[in-house]
């Protein structure tokens, strides 16, 4: 991960996801834990109250995550993907790759905080992304990964802003 004060590259959609997680943790999970602590307190002796200690532990983890999210959000640098043109692979590109067996995969190259292979988003620091950066449509790349070495041809490079679903958080909770 990046240095403590370094800027963190992220897509606009990635920043929205971080902000939504922060909102959920502050305005949904935090009040739930406060209720759990109050409920556990009402059961009497705190020294042997497992519910109370579990809720306090949960609160500690939540507050740590909230602090981490606030730090990341403060240091993000949104990269405007829509301004990129051409067929060269850079941060924010959506790349279609084909292997020798005719199988195609699509990946979007994103910041470290937003990588999610199941969603087709790979971190700019991943082996695949590092092999692709700077390459163009038609280039063949060798990717060394934990599963062994693979060869891919870059079929397409696109720059499309990812759609972000509208937040379903209550208005006024920000």
Give yes or no for residue 35 having a pLDDT over 90. Answer: yes
- How sure is the predictor about 3, in pLDDT bands with cuts at 50, 70 and 90? low
Q: Three-state DSSP class for 148?
A: strand
Model pTM score = 0.78
Round the average pLDDT of the chain to a whole number and report it: 87
- pLDDT tens-place string over residues 54-91: 999 999 999 999 999 999 999 999 988 777 777 799 99
Return the pLDDT at 26: 98
In this model, does residue 49 exceed pLDDT 90?
Answer: no
Torsion angle defined by CA atoms of residues 122, 124, 130 and 132, in that order, rounded to the nearest 10 degrees: 70
Buried b (16+ CB within 10 A) or exposed e, 78-88: ebebeebeeeb
- Do residues 168 and 27 touch, judged by C-beta distance below 8 A? no
Mean pLDDT of 140-155: 87
Strand (E) or helix (H) holding 69: helix 50-75
In this prediction, residue 59 carries a pLDDT of 97
Give the domains, in start order, of the chain with CATH numbers: 8-78 (1.10.287.180), 81-158 (3.10.50.30)
Q: What is the predicted pLDDT for the residue at 173?
A: 40
Asked if the model's pLDDT at residue 5 lies above 50, the reply is: yes
What's residue 174's pLDDT?
38
């Amino acid at each position: 991960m990046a240095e403590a004060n370094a800027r963190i590259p992220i897509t606009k959609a990635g920043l929205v996801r971080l902000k939504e997680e922060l909102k959920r943790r502050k305005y949904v999970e935090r009040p739930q834990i406060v209720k759990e602590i109050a409920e556990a307190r009402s059961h009497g002796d705190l020294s042997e109250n497992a519910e109370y200690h579990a809720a306090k532990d949960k609160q500690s983890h939540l507050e740590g995550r909230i602090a981490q999210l606030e730090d990341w959000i403060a240091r993000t640098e949104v990269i405007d993907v829509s301004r990129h043109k051409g067929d060269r692979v850079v941060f924010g590109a959506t790349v279609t790759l084909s292997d020798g067996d005719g199988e195609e995969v699509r990946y979007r190259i994103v910041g470290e905080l937003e990588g999610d292979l199941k969603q087709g988003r790979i971190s700019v620091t991943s082996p695949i992304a590092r092999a692709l950066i700077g390459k163009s449509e038609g280039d063949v790349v060798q990717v060394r990964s934990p599963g062994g070495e693979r060869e891919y041809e870059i079929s397409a490079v696109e720059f499309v802003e990812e759609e972000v679903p509208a937040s379903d958080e209550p208005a006024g909770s920000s």
